[in-house]
Structure 1
């Protein structure tokens, strides 16, 4: 919300979407009937993004023409749906190493905390965006 405000963009619209097409279709209907219709969804994870894809289809809309969708986690099913789901892949090993080093530095008290890794999130662009 803060980044959108800073960039002069509308505030993001958050909504809970259950992992079934009817819940997702209802959410898509609410998003599209708003004064400023939602044209892109950044889902909590790939499973929710897959439900949103189903909801967009159930609402008679097209991905990404009417609504673009991206998830997080790069689960194998993301490559199998049509359109293939764009997603964010996370370098979990780099994050884990950083967190372990940060905890050890904090416990040591005299050690310099490690630098945060800056290359841990990677967009995997596919056909849904």
Structure 2
């Protein structure tokens, strides 16, 4: 993702507990702690694996750090975001979301996320790697 964004005039921040500062800089990104990234970002895109340690990575407290009108993009794993907290932020209009994955997946039929103008839901189609 970082390489794709190099074509644009953007500051790309990254928060990755496993990447070194040199790794981040080689990609043209700036490594920062997650709370700083959230406070400074208009768009946050998740690329972490869905593991017990990443469950609820963006919970209510962390979502509250995002500036008004920020957009959250999740193509990684539905469990990385507290769905109830994100729903509340999107219903209020404070945040927007683009979600390829959700928790639960699929969302319940009555989920408010379906009818919000600031939320885009896409059908999750995992990539397949040919041998």
Q: Please give the TM-score of this superposition, normalised by the length of structure 1.
A: 0.45
Give TM-score, length-normalised by structure 2.
Answer: 0.44
Structure with the bigger percentage of helix = 1
Structure exhibiting the larger radius of gyration computed from Cα positions? 1
